[in-house]
Structure 1
Amino acid sequence: MAYLGVAAGLLLALVLVVIVAMQAWRLADNRAAESAWAWLHAQAPASVEAFDPAMVEGLPEAARRYFLHTIAPGTPLHVVSEIRMTGEIGLGNQEAPGYRPMRARQLLAPPHGFIWRLDRAGSGIMQMSGSDCMADGRSWTRFWLNGTLPVARAGDDENHLRASFGRAVAEAAFWAPAALLPQPGVRWEETGEPDRARAVITHGALAQTIEIALAEDGRPRWVQFPRWSDANHEKEWQLQPFGGYLDDFQNFDGYTLPTRVEAGNHFGTQAYFPFFRARVEAIRFSP
């Protein structure tokens, strides 16, 4: 009986050590997310110009229409956006999407990066939280189940950073269009199609092409890009189509931006699965 008591005590001590270690790990993740948020926020310039349509006169016609629809004349050209959203995250596949309600907030500072902080997805003991991030030359995906068990951890390598850069650039077309105006590191190209705009964005050694399909008035209907990804049956890193549809546009301080977005892998193919479906509650700009 004494032996059983000692064994039970050791087991309890081990469980407590694991719990403390997991909590310390989670706190370290939270500190990293807070540091990334502050770093991205600091990428906002101290002062900004106001939008003048003359800034886009030399662009291809489709790109010019995109900017004239999206940014009103005289609007301060903020390049850092903070977005609050609700929606659904698909944790399954195309046949069984497994959508779970989610609430998140994001700081988007293209081309420097972004941090998407998932406050919660799902409910009860199956509730997830965590962050997806690219900041200060690093990137990661870190999610926890019920705040105690790590269920997804990736990043801190060149593949993940390249994939994250694709997201940062594409979402600029959603929610930070001023970051795509003509400037060093942004090049707009002719596509040969009147309702298609294409940009190539570079940042250090990273480069990403995006395409924007436009309505007649210049409203973006969808965004797609070749994303570096291992979301495939072979689990191999490769370029594959990613993109999403934009809808329900509203005015935010002079910007006409989508408040309903869905996106997923293999965009434009039969394998397309929109695992991300967001409804924007608020957008504000820094500084």
Structure 2
Amino acid sequence: MKTLVVILLIVLAGGVLALWLWRQWDHRLDQAAVDRLTALQPSNPGRFEPAMVAGLPEPARRYFLYTIAPDTPLYTVACISMAGRFGMGNRDKPDYLEMRASQVLAMPAGFVWKMNASRGLMRLSGSDTEGWTRFWLMELLPVARAGGDPDHTRSAFGRYVAEAVFWSPASVLPGPGIRWELVDENTARVTVRSNGLEQAVDVTVAKNGQPEEVSFFRWSNANPEKVHRLQPFGGYLSEFRDFGGFRLPTRVAAGNFFGTEDYFPFFVVSVTDITFPGA
């Protein structure tokens, strides 16, 4: 009997060790992705001049003049630290977790979002990138692993194009693969094309150019049928601060079915810092 107990304990310890090593491997992959994206930062970027956006639709011109000060180095890779709430439920039962996260945003190449969330004794951690979604319970139990398929890639592309609009405006300046057009007197649409993907995002601005809303149709299976399809996504931006010449929102509330009665802001964060590697 004692021998059986010893064997079971050895097996259990081996299983825990294997899970721990698997978790450490995920951390290494996260860091490798971070290093790859931060290396894409321009080493000697140009500087913003209002003439760069003079020919854009009026809301887009106002947006850039508000978010980028003249002579600001046009860094396109941003590192964002944030804290807030992450909803695991739905509109009727949000099931929010308290969350802290960091993100490297390098549109159009990709992003890495690493989070730690908790409620009571429960702990959830993991990462989301253009290549994968991986979440762990108590740092030892894998509870979600997805990615490596066209649906994930397309959905992730929509996310980080939209986030670039409000956290990395230099990356959506007009150029190859980036087109701006007029929607109405206070809304402009940017369409980004990269690596066979295309995403249009609408940004609504105030009279002074401050972005107030970002909305788009995202490829997602966050619906009762769990079927990937285009559906409204978006959020509200507020509490702008200056970060190295960029005026960016530090309060973001976003979620599925934006603009409808089913809107659920599962992502509600306050930004604590934004930096630009190499600046």
Q: Give the residue type in structure 2 aligned to 1:263.
A: A
Q: Matched residues in 1 for 2:120 and 2:262: separation?
A: 31
Q: Which residue number corresponds to residue 112 of structure 2?
A: 115
Q: Does 1:129 align with 2:125?
A: yes
Q: Deviations over 1:231-259 (max 9, x none)?
A: 01111111111111000011111111000
1:9 deviates by 2.6
Q: Matched residues in 2 for 1:148 and 1:63: separation?
A: 46
Q: Does 1:208 align with 2:204?
A: no
Q: Give the residue type in structure 1 aligned to 2:146.
A: A
Q: Does 1:281 align with 2:262?
A: no
Q: Matched residues in 2 for 1:199 and 1:220: separation?
A: 13
The partner residue of 2:53 within 52, 56, 66 is 56
Q: Which residue number corresponds to residue 198 of structure 1?
A: 189
1:87 deviates by 0.6
Q: Which residue number corresponds to residue 69 of structure 1?
A: 66
1:99 deviates by 1.3
Q: Give the residue type in structure 2 aligned to 1:60.
A: P
User: Identity, % of aligned pairs?
Assistant: 50
Q: Matched residues in 2 for 1:124 and 1:63: separation?
A: 44
Q: Deviations over 1:161-193 (max 9, x none)?
A: 1111111100001110000001101011122x1
Q: Count residues in correspondence.
A: 278
1:45 deviates by 1.4
Q: Deviations over 1:34-56 (max 9, x none)?
A: 00000000111111011000000
Q: Matched residues in 2 for 1:222 and 1:49: separation?
A: 28
Q: Matched residues in 2 for 1:21 and 1:203: separation?
A: 38
The more displaced of 125-134 and 165-174 is 125-134
Q: Which residue number corresponds to residue 176 of structure 1?
A: 168
Q: Which residue number corresponds to residue 151 of structure 2?
A: 159
Q: Does 1:226 align with 2:223?
A: no
Q: Give the residue type in structure 2 aligned to 1:167.
A: R
Q: Matched residues in 1 for 2:215 and 2:242: separation?
A: 23
Report runs of 4+ in structure 1 exceeding 3 Å deviation: none
Q: Which residue number corresponds to residue 100 of structure 2?
A: 103
Instruction: Look up the SS of the partner of 1:77 in the other structure.
Output: coil
Matches within 5 A, 1:2-151: 4-118=1-115, 120-123=116-119, 125-134=121-130, 139-151=131-143
Which stretches in structure 1 are left out of the alignment for 5+ residues? none
Q: Matched residues in 1 for 2:262 and 2:5: separation?
A: 51
Q: Give the residue type in structure 2 aligned to 1:78.
A: Y
Contact 1:125 1:146 in 2 (8 A): no
Q: Matched residues in 2 for 1:98 and 1:106: separation?
A: 23
Q: Deviations over 1:86-144 (max 9, x none)?
A: 111111111111111111111111111110111x211554111111112xxxx111111
Q: Give the residue type in structure 2 aligned to 1:183.
A: G
The partner residue of 2:177 within 185, 209, 213 is 185
Q: Matched residues in 2 for 1:235 and 1:91: separation?
A: 15
- Output the TM-score relative to the length of structure 2: 0.97
Q: Give the residue type in structure 2 aligned to 1:177.
A: P
1:58 deviates by 1.1
1:80 deviates by 0.5
